[in-house]
Structure 1
Amino acid sequence: MLPTFTPDKALTRGMLDVLIRAGLIAVLVIFCFQIFHPFLNLMLWAVILAITLYPLQNRIKGRLGNRDGRAATLIVLLAIAILMVPIYLLGTSMTESVENALTIVRSESFHIPPPGEKVATWPLIGQPLYDFWLQLSTDMSGVVRKLLPYIKSFSLNVLGKLADVGVGFLMFIGALIIAGILMAYGDTGNRSAVQIASRISGPERGPRLAALCTATIRAVAQGVVGIAFIQMLLVGVGFVVMGIPGAGLLALAALLLGIMQLPVVLISLPVIAYAFATEGASVATIIFAIYSLVAGMADNVLKPLMLGRGVDVPMPVILIGALGGMVTNGFIGLFIGPVILAVGYQLFWQWVEDQPPSAVPDEQKPV
């Protein structure tokens, strides 16, 4: 006698089949993600660079016989040639800064002057600070022995951050090369992006979704990250040429301030004051001061030229993206974080505003 299937049993069997298929798909997605995860940041940055530089490729490919591959190769080679010199100078400056700091610490001639008597009269921290300062000036070796575990931990963290910066620069060059490959197939990539967006949100909203993501990426990459990177190079090269101690680290601080939308003159003004205090008022220091001020305020000129129109991303979103990206993904996350968070912010508000007609209250419907 053949078994009979009731509607409830058929429904249960159908749900079981759906759950099994969903489980197999989830396992496949997890394995694919684990395999691709080591290259995630590199590919994200490559896609961001490709989307940002693609309009430039469209401008110059007409002069190269409409060859996308030639135009992309030319852009990548020029970008690497332009970036290698300042990156080399900043990297050399960072290495010299670390070596100088180690030399000063190891030197027996290094001496800290004793504190003044007024330090002890400061409220709350006066007496402890006076005692610690006095011990440093009289028995520095004893203080160093006490603080040696903390100094080792701090030194390892600093060296780790510097190594992360070096890896970030290498990833930047690698992402630039991959971006050139992606730009060589730009038309195909554009069609694929529209197809994916249409598959996710429907054929009507798909092209608008792809266009919104593209506009947001270009606006943030050019108007925030790009301007901050240019300012870092301008300010950093000036610091290196002038022989400012720790020029590479100061340039990285300028990069961080630029991405956080804070004025870079917060770095350049103290450096200018240091140059005048140590070198005096000479032709070199005056030229350096003028150059540093212009480089520190270059964002006021670059933003109207590079910032995309029609895309408004609040500064707190950029700030949180920069800090969160740097904490989670290191130096390269400083660039990726603001772009990804800005795209998510724009997509969220697009989803909020793009409500179906039935979801709009009666008082908000047009008459």
Structure 2
Amino acid sequence: MLPTQTSDMALSRGLLDVLIRAGLIAVLAISCFRIFYPFLNLIVWSMILAITLYPLLVKLRGGVLKKDGHAATLIVLVAFAIILVPTWLMGNAIADSLERTMDIAKSGTFQIPPPAESVAAWPLVGQRLYDFWLQAATDLTGLVLKYAPQLKEVGVALLGTVTSLGAGLLVFFVALIVAGIFMAYGEEGSRSAVQIASRLSGPENGPKIAELCTATIRAVAQGVVGIAFIQMLLVGVAFVVIGVPAAGLLSLAVLLLGIMQLPATLITIPVIAFVIATKGVGVATIIFSVYVFVAGLADNVLKPLLLGRGVDVPMPVVLIGALGGMVTGGVIGLFVGPVVLAVGYQLFWRWVEDGPKAEAPGEQKKP
């Protein structure tokens, strides 16, 4: 056998071995991903919560609590109390309101006050709103029967929304417990993250990328909670001033919707309709309606101002990542999007800066 044929056969066997190994590795990776996929959202949420809450654990560890496990347990218990108590109060308030509504509907004493004549003079929608309101005040049963199919669709949609919110809340509680476990081993997890980032992008970029990911997640989380809190204050003050029933619980609902990245208009628009229906149309109710509607949209203005603080990338990068991630991946995408875009931005500019340096104008190479 010629030496050339021997080397060709050895090369073929080596290539075959590489292909077999690559195939087995691909099968193993796909199998691991399929097994892990049902828990992907839970783990991502747990990592986001752990990274966000870990600075609080460090402060507690430097005080009374000496062990990370004890501090993590305390944080998880307090978080459960902060979320469960308002949720339970709000659920009871909603249940009581529904029960009173059913009693009023059965007794037949519920009446909608007729609209003022000035409503018909409103531009564009005045006459239609006046006719609809007048029919609701004079023949509510006929109006309900007329729009029964649409009301059924709205009811089904609301039921689906409540169900999804309940499932999301349950996943959040489980993720909070898992985040407590992550925080208890926070130092080991930080070292592992740096090792993985260094293995993927090199020992020089690894620590910086790990730090960038951590800072981005914390900045987005703090921005989301801060924006939701400011929006709750803006809306809550108006609810209290105008005398809306259960103003505190409704304000708390605005806070929870803001944290879950749901529009506050789910609360503000029904409240505006309730105030106009009960108090009539006047200067106070018009000012209240305009103010509350604008306050319910305040997060669209506050996000560009608060998101991305403390991150070593331009604020528009974080904002675009948050908005794009939320559109493509929901609430989790709100955190994943900025991280991916920020890391990509940093790696791109490192690649640009590591390229050949352009000569300054007028500079010539020495012979």
Q: Give the TM-score normalised by structure 2.
A: 0.69
**Structure 1 residues 312 and 94: CA distance shift in structure 2, 3 A:** farther
Counterpart of 2:343? 347
SS at 2:183 equivalent:
helix
**Structure 1 residues 121 and 55: CA distance shift in structure 2, 3 A:** closer
CA contact (8 A) 2:325 2:334 kept: yes
**Superposition deviation, residue 61 in structure 1:** 1.2
**Superposition deviation, residue 183 in structure 1:** 1.0
CA contact (8 A) 1:54 1:186 kept: yes
Counterpart of 1:71? 71
**Structure 1 residues 179 and 6: CA distance shift in structure 2, 3 A:** same
Task: Give the Cα separation in 1 of the matches to 2:7 and 2:190.
Answer: 46
**Structure 1 residues 118 and 266: CA distance shift in structure 2, 3 A:** closer
Moved more, 37-46 or 264-273: 264-273
Task: Give the Cα separation in 1 of the matches to 2:209 and 2:119.
Answer: 65
Q: Deviations over 1:297-341 (max 9, x none)?
A: 9x99xx98x953545443343334345444xxxxxxx3x222111
CA contact (8 A) 1:86 1:233 kept: no
Counterpart of 1:201? 201
Structure 1: which 5+ runs fail to align? Answer: 280-291, 327-333
**Superposition deviation, residue 355 in structure 1:** 0.7
Within 5 Å, give how 1:151-300 maps onto structure 2. Answer: 151-223=151-223, 225-231=224-230, 244=245, 251-253=252-254, 255-256=256-257
CA contact (8 A) 2:232 2:254 kept: no
Counterpart of 1:319? 323
Counterpart of 1:359? 355
**Structure 1 residues 208 and 271: CA distance shift in structure 2, 3 A:** same
**Structure 1 residues 347 and 130: CA distance shift in structure 2, 3 A:** same
Task: Give the Cα separation in 2 of the matches to 1:180 and 1:121.
Answer: 55
Aligned length: 339
**Structure 1 residues 217 and 254: CA distance shift in structure 2, 3 A:** same
**Superposition deviation, residue 343 in structure 1:** 0.3
2:333 corresponds to which of 330, 337, 348:
337
Task: Give the Cα separation in 2 of the matches to 1:265 and 1:151.
Answer: 19
Letter in 2 for 1:318: A
Q: Deviations over 1:48-98 (max 9, x none)?
A: 111112122122213346311122122222222333322322333444555
**Superposition deviation, residue 135 in structure 1:** 6.2
SS at 1:50 equivalent:
helix
CA contact (8 A) 2:68 2:185 kept: yes
CA contact (8 A) 1:61 1:68 kept: yes
Within 5 Å, give how 1:106-117 maps onto structure 2. Answer: 108-110=108-110, 113=114
Q: Deviations over 1:94-120 (max 9, x none)?
A: 445555666677775555648969859
CA contact (8 A) 1:115 1:134 kept: no
SS at 2:71 equivalent:
helix
Task: Give the Cα separation in 2 of the matches to 1:119 and 1:177.
Answer: 56
Moved more, 105-114 or 44-53: 105-114
**Structure 1 residues 129 and 52: CA distance shift in structure 2, 3 A:** closer
CA contact (8 A) 2:72 2:184 kept: yes
Counterpart of 2:283? none
CA contact (8 A) 1:321 1:337 kept: yes
Counterpart of 1:308? 310
Letter in 1 for 2:321: V
Task: Give the Cα separation in 2 of the matches to 1:236 and 1:135.
Answer: 31
Task: Give the Cα separation in 1 of the matches to 2:107 and 2:336.
Answer: 47
Moved more, 212-221 or 306-315: 306-315
**Structure 1 residues 260 and 320: CA distance shift in structure 2, 3 A:** farther
Q: Which has the higher contact order (CA 8 A, sep 6+)?
A: 1
**Structure 1 residues 278 and 105: CA distance shift in structure 2, 3 A:** closer
CA contact (8 A) 1:215 1:311 kept: no
Letter in 2 for 1:87: T
Letter in 2 for 1:44: V
Within 5 Å, give how 1:43-122 maps onto structure 2. Answer: 43-64=43-64, 66-96=66-96, 108-110=108-110, 113=114, 119=120
**Superposition deviation, residue 42 in structure 1:** 1.8
Moved more, 306-315 or 349-358: 306-315
| CA RMSD, Structure 1 to Structure 2 (Å) | 5.1
Counterpart of 1:331? none
**Structure 1 residues 204 and 108: CA distance shift in structure 2, 3 A:** same
Letter in 2 for 1:71: A
Task: Give the Cα separation in 2 of the matches to 1:356 and 1:316.
Answer: 22
Moved more, 29-38 or 8-17: 8-17
**Superposition deviation, residue 171 in structure 1:** 2.4
Task: Give the Cα separation in 2 of the matches to 1:89 and 1:278.
Answer: 25
